[in-house]
């Protein structure tokens, strides 16, 4: 019996690979005769680098970069096994987790460090890029990233404007003369799971500004500045980027990728499914285990378990999903490829205890479920 294990991470507790190993232990506790294939997954956010690196026998490369406040930190990117593909999580250089609560200020935070990661991968000889742009602490329209790649952003006096979003309203000229042209020789895919436009009520500032530290007054400033930025982008590159879904992703970084880098924005899970060759690995599979920290109605909007279940459903393979917690309105998931959704919690416990014992909880939940599944299989055969 072949079983594919393809979970996401349980954030704050286990990586996707650790979840997969715990599930494998649960299955092996029942029987060592199973043929098991572990495929640690992600959806383009946190954990994407580790998942793809482990799947391709690649390596994680550490690079000194600037954090959102332009302080030196150790960032990283993944170099896949072919040594030509780089996987970058922008949050590793420009993410919210890098800042203390009191440090959050999207007027001054910059994506410069993300550009440094891209440049480091170019210097390593990479020609293909997968860039996840979730979890940003920024609202600078990707300007910092582009600065690190040689672009100059000038005001009417031909002076460079400040880092961050604070002077985007003074932008007059985008000088591409020193831009790293190697970018245009590369295939760049951007993992983007939001369709927000650059500005307006559904734009980057109004939807995501508050979580990055902006109050109502600052949000108005940020939105106006991104609107002006969009005008300059359209004038310079003849792309009405402000109206394109996804242009508001990562504080407007989506707009920079669309208008200047000419990258393709895709759902993160679609990229990971393709890169992991999940569909091919599901051949002759009898059962699939997936999961993540929480499963609820939002799971169907491109989360890892949904992507895995969708692929399995095409081949009529049953799918079991495990979660730390199960939220509201999961009933619809049973019509979308899921055959069972189970919490790993086996008794009343606090969050701290659940996190501490997550590996064992995943293992034992998997063991209980495979017991029940195999009992059903035996009865079907009888």
Instruction: Indicate if the alpha-carbon torsion angle 342, 345, 350, 352 is positive or negative.
Output: negative
pLDDT band (50, 70, 90) for residue 381 = low
Among residues 207, 233, 266, the one where a domain terminates is 266
Q: Are residues 55 and 26 in the same domain?
A: no
Q: Are residues 14 and 85 in the same domain?
A: no
Q: What is the bridge-based pairing of β-strands 264-266 and 35-38?
A: unpaired
Q: Are residues 92 and 152 in the same domain?
A: yes
| The pLDDT value given to residue 328 | 86
Q: Tell me the C-alpha to C-alpha distance, in Å, between residue 73 and each of 63, 116, 165.
A: 8, 12, 21
Q: Are residues 314 and 240 in the same domain?
A: no
Read off the tokens for 203: 């734009």
CATH of the domain at 366: 3.40.50.10350
Is 308 part of a structural domain of the chain?
yes
Is 276 part of a structural domain of the chain?
no
Please state the rounded mean pLDDT for residues 17-46.
Answer: 95
Q: Are residues 202 and 221 in the same domain?
A: yes
Query: Range of 148's domain?
Result: 48-266
pLDDT of 334 over the 90 cut? yes
Cα–Cα dist 343/352, whole Å: 16
CATH of the domain at 97: 3.90.1510.10
pLDDT in tens, 111-149: 999 999 999 999 999 999 999 998 899 999 999 999 999
What does the buried/exposed string (b/e) look like for 107-137 if buried means 16 or more CB atoms within 10 Å of the residue's CB?
bbbbbbbbbbbbbbbbeeebebbbbbbbbbb
Is 358 part of a structural domain of the chain?
yes
Among residues 241, 266, 291, the one where a domain terminates is 266
Q: Are residues 60 and 189 in the same domain?
A: yes
pLDDT band (50, 70, 90) for residue 382 = low
Read off the tokens for 107: 């007027």
Q: Are residues 91 and 7 in the same domain?
A: no
Q: Are residues 181 and 305 in the same domain?
A: no
pLDDT in tens, 155-197: 999 999 999 999 999 999 999 999 999 999 999 999 988 889 9
Q: Are residues 260 and 285 in the same domain?
A: no
Q: Are residues 249 and 309 in the same domain?
A: no
Average predicted confidence (pLDDT) for the chain: 94
Domain count, the chain: 2
pLDDT in tens, 190-215: 998 888 999 999 999 999 999 999 99
Cα–Cα dist 372/146, whole Å: 54
Q: Are residues 194 and 286 in the same domain?
A: no
What does the buried/exposed string (b/e) look like for 272-285 if buried means 16 or more CB atoms within 10 Å of the residue's CB?
bbebbebeebbeeb
Q: Are residues 241 and 302 in the same domain?
A: no
């Amino acid at each position: 019996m072949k079983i594919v294990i393809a979970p996401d991470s349980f954030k704050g507790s286990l990586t996707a690979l650790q979840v997969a190993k715990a599930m494998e232990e649960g299955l092996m506790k029942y029987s060592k005769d199973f043929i098991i294939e572990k495929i640690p997954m992600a959806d383009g956010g946190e954990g994407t680098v580790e998942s793809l690196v482990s799947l391709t026998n690649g390596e994680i490369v550490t690079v000194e970069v600037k954090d959102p406040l332009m302080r030196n930190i150790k960032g990283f990117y993944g170099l896949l096994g072919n040594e030509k593909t780089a996987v970058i999580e922008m949050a590793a250089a420009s993410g919210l987790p890098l800042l203390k609560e009191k440090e959050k200020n999207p007027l001054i935070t910059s994506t410069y460090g993300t550009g440094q990661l891209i440049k480091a991968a170019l210097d390593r000889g990479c020609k293909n890029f997968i860039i996840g742009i979730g979890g940003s602490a920024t609202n600078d329209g990707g300007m910092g990233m582009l600065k690190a790649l040689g672009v100059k952003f000038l005001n009417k006096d031909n002076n460079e404007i400040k880092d961050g979003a604070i002077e985007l309203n003074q932008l007059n000229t985008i000088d591409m003369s020193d831009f790293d042209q190697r970018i245009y020789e590369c295939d760049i895919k951007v993992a983007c799971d939001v369709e927000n436009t650059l500005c307006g009520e559904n734009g980057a500032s109004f939807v995501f500004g508050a979580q990055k530290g902006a109050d109502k007054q600052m949000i108005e400033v940020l939105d106006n500045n991104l609107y002006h930025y969009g005008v300059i982008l359209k004038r310079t590159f003849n792309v009405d980027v402000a109206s394109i879904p996804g242009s508001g992703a990562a504080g407007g970084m989506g707009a920079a990728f669309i208008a200047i880098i000419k990258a393709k924005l895709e759902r993160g899970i679609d990229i990971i499914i393709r890169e992991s060759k999940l569909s091919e690995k599901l051949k002759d599979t009898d059962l699939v285990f997936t999961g993540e920290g929480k499963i609820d109605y939002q799971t169907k909007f491109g989360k890892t378990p949904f992507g895995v279940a969708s692929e399995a459903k095409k081949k009529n393979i049953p799918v079991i999903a495990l979660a730390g917690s199960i939220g509201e309105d999961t009933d619809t998931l049973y019509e979308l490829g899921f055959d069972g959704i189970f919490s790993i919690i086996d008794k009343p416990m606090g969050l701290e205890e659940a996190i501490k014992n997550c590996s064992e909880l995943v293992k034992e939940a998997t063991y209980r479920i495979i017991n029940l599944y195999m009992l059903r299989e035996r009865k079907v055969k009888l």
